[in-house]
Amino acid sequence: MHNSPMPTPTRTATLHLPTQAPVAERCSNSQIKDVLKSYGLRTSLIRLKVIDALLSADREGRTIGVRSAHAYLQELDIPLSFLSVREVLKRLCSEGVIEARPDKTYGLSEHALAMLRH
């Protein structure tokens, strides 16, 4: 029996988010892993990328919401549902890695930022 390949979905709109920063400004995955470990959390791809999105937003002086974080991951071709991203943000928030803002956005906690900036 022959399996025909599935057609690849096409995107009609592209959201342009900064996915690459100069090397000097980027934190390595090992630094993010150390932060997660210090909070007693295991490393996962989604946690690494969500924290990377939060770092990128912080460098630009802004915070991001669930939709922005989800769009960032979609741009990186990481196929996660909106609900999965929301749950990761909630978990990181409950552990103190990030903070929820009154405007329903998230940002890294001062402690996590300090660890990533050293």
pLDDT at 65: 95
pLDDT at 118: 73
- Asked if 72 and 64 touch (Cβ cutoff 8 Å), the reply is yes
Q: pTM here?
A: 0.73
- Asked if 27 and 47 touch (Cβ cutoff 8 Å), the reply is no
Could you tell me how far CA 2 lies from the centroid of its own chain?
39
Give domain limits for the chain.
27-117
Per-residue pLDDT tens digits for 39-96: 999 999 899 999 999 998 888 888 899 999 999 899 989 888 999 999 999 999 999 9
Fold of the 27-117 domain: Arc Repressor Mutant, subunit A (1.10.10)
